Structures are given as structure tokens and as C-alpha cells.
Amino acid sequence: MGVPMNPKFDFPRPSGTPPVTPMVYVKDRIVWEYKVVSRNVSKQDMPSEEELNKLGKEGWELTGMFSDNPFVYLYFKRLIM
């Protein structure tokens, strides 16, 4: 084989039979639904705590936020059952 590039990390190689990787079967495909909420920050039009709680109760999860002055975009996702 050759000389290792960094002998500090030259770990001993395991001997014997390698472990068997388990087979995983996915019965149902996971499907996400997405929602974008855009607001104008200059008009102080941000979603209220009440509105965010309502979205949470409907199953929406905030996954990202993007700001493009004066607009803010909130990205949500939820699992489609």
C-alpha cells in the first residue's frame, strides 16, 4: 500500500468480516407541503405571535427566513398526511 500521508491518523485496519449494512425499506414516501409568507417591514407588517401560533397549530414549521429590504420572506413546511 504505501506510506500514510499522516502517520498520526494511521489507525489499525479491522480484521475479519465487515459488518452487514441493514436494508431499510420505505413503505410510504414522505411528501412536504411548502408555504411562503412575505411581509413589508417598512409598513411594520410582520406576522403577529397569534398568526404564527395559528400556523404552528395547522402543522406549519418555520424552516427559513430571507430579507430583501423592505420585504421579509418566511418559509414554512409541513408533512402531507
Average pLDDT over residues 22-39: 88
Domain count, the chain: 1
Question: Has residue 13 been placed in a domain?
Answer: no
Q: What are the angstrom distances between the C-alpha of 1 and each of 4, 5, 33?
A: 9, 12, 51
Mean pLDDT (the chain) is 86
At residue 38, does pLDDT exceed 90?
yes
How remote is the C-alpha of 5 from its chain's centroid?
36
Domain of 66, in residue numbers: 29-81
In this prediction the pTM is: 0.63
Question: Has residue 7 been placed in a domain?
Answer: no
Question: Has residue 19 been placed in a domain?
Answer: no
At residue 9, does pLDDT exceed 70?
no
- The residue with greater pLDDT, 71 or 26, is 71
Percent of the chain with pLDDT over 90: 51
